[in-house]
Amino acid sequence: MILILLGVFAVLAFVFFIYIENNAVSITLTVLSLLGLVVSSVYAVQNWQNHYGLEQYTTTTTKNIYSVSPNKQMSMILYQPIGSKNDHQVYIYKNSENAKKPVHTQANSSTTNKLSRINGTTQMTTTVTRWRYKSGAAKFWFAFTGENHKFVKRTNKIEVNKNWLVLSVAQSKALQKQMKSKTYQAQLQQQGKAFVMKGMQAAMQKNPTMSKADQAKLQKQLQGQFQAQAVQKLITQIQK
């Protein structure tokens, strides 16, 4: 309605000033129309600039997010620093376990990402703040101004399981490159054999009668332990 009034008062001021011959009546009505135009303009500007007649409201949604790592044994979420100050990160993840392409949080100054570690399922809670009319009267007067439901800000609260890796895109690329290195793989294999052999020898000394099945089980456990330690060591080096 405020937009309609702006147009109506502008037209009336023109009509009253041009077409009414009685000067006193013409001037009076023109002044009143201009006054209405000014008042309407003030309220319109207040609505646009200071959100007069509006109030903020929030909506919250929570969803599980999934690892971007091709290795199912190594869950991972990535981040990409935005800006030279590195004070804002865009996080990269998947919307489903079988999704072909990853997605990322919004890359704008109106979005804040907060990451924390938890023991449970990795998930993201998004809170969006928008403007809306305070009352029916406000809706009547400020309809069609484009301010209703206008976006204000967004907060993504990302809760990541403590066993997941959180790496930058650059760190992830360095990790993958190193793990694919033939030299690194050869060193890893040699070190792994030595680690397993040492563990098996220590276990056999404590229990010389250990069965073949228990030996095989222990060997598998030692191999998994070595791999986890090797990956963690490599990640620590990359993160320095």
Question: pLDDT in tens for each of the 240 residues of the chain?
Answer: 788 888 888 998 888 889 888 888 898 999 999 998 998 898 888 888 888 899 999 999 999 999 998 877 789 999 998 876 666 889 999 999 989 899 999 988 899 999 999 999 999 999 999 999 999 888 888 887 888 999 999 999 999 999 899 999 988 888 888 888 888 888 888 998 999 999 999 999 999 888 889 889 999 889 888 887 888 888 888 877
Under a CB-based contact definition with an 8 Å cutoff, are residues 123 and 147 in contact? Answer: no
What's residue 119's pLDDT? 94
Residues 69, 73: Cα–Cα separation, whole Å: 9
The pairs formed by 132-138 with CB atoms below 8 angstroms and a separation of 24 or more are 132/54, 132/55, 132/56, 132/57, 133/53, 133/54, 133/55, 134/53, 134/54, 134/55, 135/53, 137/53, 138/53, 138/54
37 within 8 A of 8, measured Cβ to Cβ = no
- pLDDT value at position 50? 86
At 15, the amino acid letter reads V
Q: What is the pLDDT of residue 87?
A: 67
How is the chain split into domains, by residue range?
A: 2-50, 56-168, 181-239
By CB neighbour count within 10 A (0-12 exposed, 13-18 middle, 19+ buried), where does 26 fall?
middle
Given a contact cutoff of 8 angstroms between Cβ atoms, the answer to whether 131 and 152 are in contact is yes
Burial class (CB in 10 A: 0-12, 13-18, 19+), 179: middle
Fill in the amino acid letter for 181: S
- Given this model, what pLDDT does residue 84 score? 63
Look at residue 19 in the predicted model and tell me its pLDDT: 87
pLDDT at 85: 62
Residue written as token pair 């098996």: 200
pTM of the model: 0.75
Whole-angstrom distance between the N-terminal and C-terminal Cα of the chain? 61
Question: What letter would DSSP give residue 105?
Answer: -
Rounded Cα distance between 176 and 63, Å, is 28
